Structure 1
Amino acid sequence: MLPLSANSWFCRVALRDTGIDAASFTSIRLVSGALMLWLLLYLRRSRGRAPLPASESGNWLSAWALFGYAVLFSFAYLELTAGTGALLLFGAVQVTMIGLGLRRGERLDIVQVTGVVLAFSGLVGLLLPGLSAPPPLAGAMMLGAGICWGVYSMRGQGARDPTRVTAGNFMRTVPITAALSLFMLGQASIDTAGFAYAVASGALTSALGYVLWYSVVPLIKSVTAATVQLSVPVIVAVGGVALLGEPITLRLVLAAAAVLGGIALVILEKSRNAAGAE
């Protein structure tokens, strides 16, 4: 979970403390992620691994969802603290995936419905006006990033080779993000430190982080994998305090308890129901 959490730290510190702009950070992140994943696939092919069908190489709809997540994530972190951004992102991802699951025919019992309502209430409470409320537009953009990532995650479920699918989707974002950079060229600003953070976010914590996660998930129970992800907003918030000097407000603590507690109810109840059906 540390590489996934580090995405928030790298993005926030780059946009707060260096001269790079959000569009350039997004483009460098996606391009460096694509290059790292291409290199991993090249090394794997050189070892003689049999190729998979073209359908296992990603698709444009998923690439647009990935791009939407990345660009909204970057622009939101111009104003959000690392912990607030991570909680909004994570909550929106999970609520989106639950909603898409319902659309596919999944059903929730009363405990799971309570969990969803609790998690949604935590997100709403975090965004309500007040002294410690995040900027509305930045908050909305991070929720949008979470929705995009939730869609992207659902579309990638069941892939036989997640690394290759992820690589294909990252590579498809390159022309899209190049168009964004051209559109924002008049506001482009890049310095050495900002460039380094963007490359680290793309090549290390995104590309290698996703590969590591996909390698571990098959070795552990699905409920364990889902529950472990609950730690990400907490890790980001703690790192935001220790590494970035950001405050943790009472509003954030209460919202985190509601969001993470609600999602935990859904995950654990789903596991209990599955065990009872066996």
Structure 2
Amino acid sequence: MSERTFSIEFFPPKTDEGVVKLRETRRQLAQLKPKFFSVTFGAGGSTRDRTLETVLEIQGEGLAAAPHLSCIGSTRANIREILEVYKSHGIRHIVALRGDLPSGVADPGEFRYANELVQFIRQETGDWFEIEVAAYPETHPQARNYTDDLNNFKRKVEAGANAAITQYFFNADAYFNFVDDCEALGIDIPIVPGIMPISNYSQLARFSAMCGAEIPRWLAKKLESYYDDTASIKAFGLDFVTGMCDDLLTGGAPGLHFYTLNQAALTSALWQRLGL
């Protein structure tokens, strides 16, 4: 089996205070020696400059960084310009996504789907970038059905994606079933599970409703039973997510990608418990 990939995701901070806090989080998580840090890109490119600043700062610390790039609401000229900037700074790794339109904006721009973005990046830059794309073991919330979504994923792979990171989930079987279905379609790129540490149930429920990640009923009930006892939620969440990650790695997952929400503690604890 090829070397496993363990990576960590941040979002670009909006305030000076957030910048300082993220530096401290990054200092702690850099000790874990992840393969790369990825940095998200706001709806319609709304955090474009902050994404670049954060990526360059990470790179300046001698660490590998992969900016997210979403295409909805963008033109080919916009995307070409961003790719040129990333190339000029020696960035070789991108997470290519469709993304969301900012609220109140009706124009989807020149790209409708992520496979069109992947194809465009390949046309413009050849093999310069290693391209990651998103995968949805529990189906994208806007997909018509599971099969349609699987075919959408296949199109991204055929357009030139090197690897994929999944939406987070709390059911390892959903991941393994998805990987089996991908293999049956001849998809053979690494599909790395996205992992969301559990720290705050109401926030998690809100995120999950928006992105279509299912919280199994028993898990939701268990987390609800702790009410506002955040220490118990975190302790139980840590046990549950560690067990799931263990199952994923034992079952052959090619790595793990941690959604940190710019916090270090839970990702560090998971990493140490798993012996990564």
**Larger helix fraction of residues:** 1
**Larger strand fraction of residues:** 2
TM-score normalised per structure 1:
0.28
TM-score normalised per structure 2:
0.29
Larger relative contact order (Cα-Cα within 8 Å, sequence gap ≥ 6): 1
